[in-house]
Structure 1
Amino acid sequence: MSRNALFPSRLFVVLLACLSLTACEPVDPNSPLGKRKTLFKQMLKTSEQLGGMLRGRVKFDEPAFVAGASSLATLSQQPWQHFPQVKDEGKSSAKDEVWNNQLRFNELAKQLESATANLALVSSQKPLIPSNVAKPFKQVENACEACHNEFRDY
């Protein structure tokens, strides 16, 4: 194949990449949307580290697990203040139901806060045995999933 025959293909790929990048909406990190996205990402990262330890993907590290459980309990209380009363602008993963059914949304937020507080409490009991925190951790995962199923637009 000649070099000129590849030119249209390369040009197409470059143009497609440019169009894809211009379609991305940057999120203001100081906006309510930006703040809650940051917090949810931190929660996900922390949860993945804890789950990795419990599932054997990462070596179980007692001090790291205790610190992670405590951090997750603190983080779980923070994103809700960044959901304004009226839906904000920007590309959000939140369904309209967040604003249309705030009572239920707040109920599920409280369930997550309770589950993470329980995980932190159980994690603080020495000696920390992974099997003792598996059930409380699963309750945290279930609380996340319940809210995502009702209020997250995938």
Structure 2
Amino acid sequence: MKQLLLTVLSCTVLLSPAFAADPVTQRQEIFKQYKQTVGTMAKTVKGETPYSKDEFAKLAAHLDALAQQPWQHFPAGSDQGKTGARAEIWSKPQDWKAAIDRHKTETAKLKQTAAGGDLAAIKAQFGATQKTCKACHDNFRND
């Protein structure tokens, strides 16, 4: 039994770098965190969950940190039909970078607005941030 456990653990340790090196897997993991964080924030903005300035500010800070991460995991040739990413990511890199920059800017504004605690301002900035997500999906994602 101990031998089996050691074998399984060894395989897990050896295979972990292979999975971590896959840019598709890496960006998908980051976007899963995006979905969870934005979903929690949306419930607050919609009034479905109580507003807590500190909790929302933490979520906004986390989203801002996430906004810096996935873009490095889109190297040329990393998709090849594996995901919903459109070829325009690689064929129109200036447009892609501009969309990323807009998203980062609006996410940073959301972090700053959330720290202030004005729920009306937060709702407006959350909407502006969400528009950058939608624009990117509309232009650079197939689904």
| Alignment correspondent of 2:130 | 141
Q: How many residues align?
A: 126
Alignment of 1:45-56 (within 5 A): 45-56=36-47
After superposition, the CA RMSD in angstroms is 1.6
Residue 83 (structure 1) aligned with residue 70 (structure 2): no
Alignment of 1:106-121 (within 5 A): 106-121=97-112
Question: Deviating runs (4+, > 4 A) in structure 1?
Answer: none
How far residue 97 of structure 1 moved from its aligned partner, in angstroms, is 1.0
Give the TM-score of the pair, scaled to structure 2. 0.82
Residue 150 (structure 1) aligned with residue 139 (structure 2): yes
2:127 maps to amino acid: K
Residue 105 (structure 1) aligned with residue 100 (structure 2): no
Larger Rg: 1
Unpaired runs of 5+ in structure 2? 1-18
Query: Deviation string for 1:6-63 (max 9, x for gaps)?
Result: xxxxxxxxxxxxxxxxxxxxxx454100000111111111111111101011111221
- C-alpha separation between the residues in 1 aligned to 2:111 and 2:128? 12
Q: Give 3-state SS (helix, strand or coil) of 2:101's partner.
A: helix
Residue 131 (structure 1) aligned with residue 81 (structure 2): no
1:145 maps to amino acid: K
How far residue 64 of structure 1 moved from its aligned partner, in angstroms, is 1.0
Aligned-residue sequence identity (percent) comes to 28
Q: Give 3-state SS (helix, strand or coil) of 1:124's partner.
A: helix
How far residue 129 of structure 1 moved from its aligned partner, in angstroms, is 2.5
Unpaired runs of 5+ in structure 1? 1-27
Query: Deviation string for 1:65-93 (max 9, x for gaps)?
Result: 00000010110111000010334446111
Q: Give the 3 Å change call, closer, same or farther, for CA 107–33 of structure 1 in structure 2.
A: same
Correspondent of 1:66 among 41, 57, 60: 57
